[in-house]
Structure 1
Amino acid sequence: MKILSNADVAALLPMAEAIEVVDAVMRVVSAGGAQLPLRHAVPVGGRNMMGVMSGALETPHCYGVKLLSLFPDNPARGLSGHRGALVLFEPETGGAVAMMDAGLLTAIRTAAASAVATRALARPDATRLTIIGTGEQAEHHLEAMLSVRPVRALHVVGRRAEKTAEFARHAAARYPALTITHGIDVQEGVRGADILCTVTSSATPVVMGDWLEEGQHLNVVGASIPVKREIDDKAVLRAQVYTDYRPSFFAQAGEIVEMIKAGTLDEAHLKAEIGEVLAGQAPGRQQREAITLYRSLGVTAQDLAAAQHVLTRAIEDGRGQDVHF
């Protein structure tokens, strides 16, 4: 078995490669080439949870399980809010062939999934990006959006002015060609944006449908369990909605679960899985003025494909620690 650290994952899963890995596996998911039980969340004290995600893929042929601790107060300690491990198995004999850091892998594949959706749904000339949230996912989403659209201006919105300004300074140092502004007013951040990424841990809506403008594309990412939501009902109703995986969408997207239960939304409002759009089986953006929304829940298929990519590259490059059980 190969043991691969955070540093190994960082070196072996650059964003450009992660985007293509996720693009390919989402086509597999929508073609029925994956077994994906819904995420199981276990409370472990206070706001903390452990997520258990398992699955199997036909292409690449592998299966595995991800165990991820979700500790929202960790960033205040200088730690990632997502910590854990992914174990990858080979399908010939069922042996475990790799274990790797799951925190960074999750962050990269999540941002890569938003990039895949943005590449498929956002207007090609989208240049103005707003990121709502200032944590680890915000950093990776910035890199991901810059990889697929000609972004020239970034506006960052956060709850705390000091942390938001710090994020903006860091982004300016890394991407000096960007025009960067920041603030704590979400509505101001929505105004004039071409692409919006919500990457918060909010349990209540931070983006309102009344604020949205024609032609915008939204990646709604931060709320991955039914008790959380980042957008209000009107945002859902105004948008052409896409997702990664239908079963997750209808069981775990808080706003969708609530709206269907209330009778204000039916399942037909979902346009398609993103894999169906990528494969040409469903349309993406059909009008320049349309508002498109990608509701990301995160599926194990993305983790497995990314992990298999990391393992393949680790073998090629001789990285990681070999351990015999």
Structure 2
Amino acid sequence: MRHFTDAEVAAALDWPGLIDALREGFRRGADSPPRPHYTVPVPDERDATLLLMPAWSPGRYIGLKTVTVFPDNGTRGLAAVGAHYLLIDARNGRIAASFDGGELTARRTAAASALASTCLSRADAGRLLVVGTGQLAPRLVHAHATVRPIRAVDVWGRDPEKAAALAARLSSAGLPARVAPDLEQAVRSADIVSCATLATEPLIHGDWLAPGTHLDLVGAFTPTMREADDVAVGRARVFVDTREGALSEAGEIVQAVARGVLDPQGIQGDLAGLVRGTAAGRRSADEITLFKSVGCSLEDLVAAELCFERSAHPAS
């Protein structure tokens, strides 16, 4: 059985290839049941979360990811999210490969946002604001820059030192990045706003969004979390990675529906509909679009398949 480290996953999953694989994966479809959430108490800290995420494609592969989220790990210098993945041959049940799940999760999440952006952001979107400084933030920047002509990147985080470090890291990679000292002003001037935080109260206010902005919300994965307020949801055409996941887990969506700000039928489409052409993406240069991602096990399966198949059949 082959095991893939995070470094090997990163080397195998280039952004264009992974984005294209996700497009084909959502077009093809797979069995991706709702993921169960379990609350795990942590003494003297916020509760942790355990998630189990299965998916399968008959005759191809079965995948299972375990995820833990420890919100206070940052105080220990550790990542908040931890994950492991098993890829199983769906023809005989044998384990084909295992993966360190951190890079797999981060890359497929960022690639899904970029895939949505190809349908929802303006084709000329050049200024990107990333909100958050965790492991997802640089990957979101690189993924968005793969599909849009990003010329400037603003970085905002609660910790200015972490924001400065991320901006320097992005700049050294060839992406002109700077720290955004004022979040409101950065949002008002952005073409794409991409959020990856553990916020439970809105950071992004809808009144700040300029016409034509695309809002990419990645961080809030439980009904009690949210990164944007009801005004943002109400002003935007709303899209999700999956309807079932968004309506049960996405804080911005669940809370907006509960307060009557959003009718579930008002969700304009999901990723499958966007790539299949059954849901219309951006319709004008001035409309505000919102993509809410909570993660989908189909994305993990596609990423693991791509990594494994590339290792078995390397390009000549």
**TM-score calculated relative to the size of structure 1:** 0.91
For structure 1, the residue ranges without an aligned partner over 5 or more in a row are 319-325
> Which range is displaced more, 75-84 or 227-236?
75-84
Q: Which moved more, 1:163-172 or 1:121-130?
A: 163-172
Structure 1 residue aligned with 2:50 = 50
Aligned residue pairs total 312
Please give the TM-score of this superposition, normalised by the length of structure 2: 0.93
Q: Distance in 1 between matches of 2:258 and 2:127?
A: 35
Change in 2 beyond 3 A, CA 1:28/1:40? farther
1:213 paired residue among 210, 213, 232: 210
Paired position in structure 2 for 1:107: 106
Greater relative contact order (Cα < 8 A, sep 6+): 1
Residue 96 of structure 2 corresponds to 97
Q: Secondary structure at the match of 1:191?
A: helix
| Correspondence list, 1:48-197, <5 A | 48-58=48-58, 61-175=60-174, 178-197=175-194
> Are 1:11 and 2:11 matched, yes or no?
yes
**8 Å Cα contact 1:12/1:310 also seen in 2:** yes
Moved more, 249-258 or 33-42: 33-42
SS in 2 for 1:277: helix
Distance 1:276 1:269 in 2: 14
Counterpart of 2:271 in structure 1 is: 274
Between the two proteins, what is the percent identity of the paired residues?
36
* Structure 2 letter corresponding to 1:238: R
Give the corresponding residue for 1:322. Answer: none
Aligned to 1:309: 306
> Counterpart of 1:278 in 2: which secondary structure?
helix
Q: Which residue matches 1:223?
A: 220
Name the SS for the 1:169 alignment partner: helix
Q: Are 2:206 and 1:202 aligned?
A: no
Pair 1:52–1:262, CA change in 2 (3 A): same
Shift of 1:17: 1.5
Query: 1:36: Cα distance to partner?
Result: 2.1
Given that residues 226 and 252 in structure 1 are in contact (C-alpha distance below 8 angstroms), is that contact kept between their aligned partners in structure 2?
yes
Give the counterpart letter for 2:243 in structure 1.
R
Partner of 2:260: 263
Contact map agreement 1:36 1:299 (CA 8 A) in 2: no
1:220-245 deviations in Å (ceiling 9; x for gaps): 00111111010100100100011111
Q: Distance in 2 between matches of 1:144 and 1:13?
A: 11
CA distance in structure 2 between the aligned counterparts of 1:200 and 1:217, rounded to whole angstroms: 17
Unaligned 5+ runs, structure 2: none
Paired with 1:256 and 1:84, the residues of 2 have a C-alpha distance of 25
Amino acid at match of 1:241: V
Query: 1:321 — aligned with what?
Result: none
CA shift for structure 1 position 109: 0.4
CA deviation string 1:234-277 (max 9, x = no partner): 10010001111110011001122122223332112100112212
Match of 1:323 in 2: none
2:272 match: secondary structure = helix
User: Structure 1 residues 106-115 or 35-44, which shifts more?
Assistant: 35-44
1:67, 1:84 within 8 Å by CA — same for their partners in 2? yes
CA drift at 1:96: 1.8
CA distance in 2 between counterparts of 1:14 and 1:204 reads 34
Across the aligned residues of Structure 1 and Structure 2, the Cα RMSD in angstroms comes to 1.8
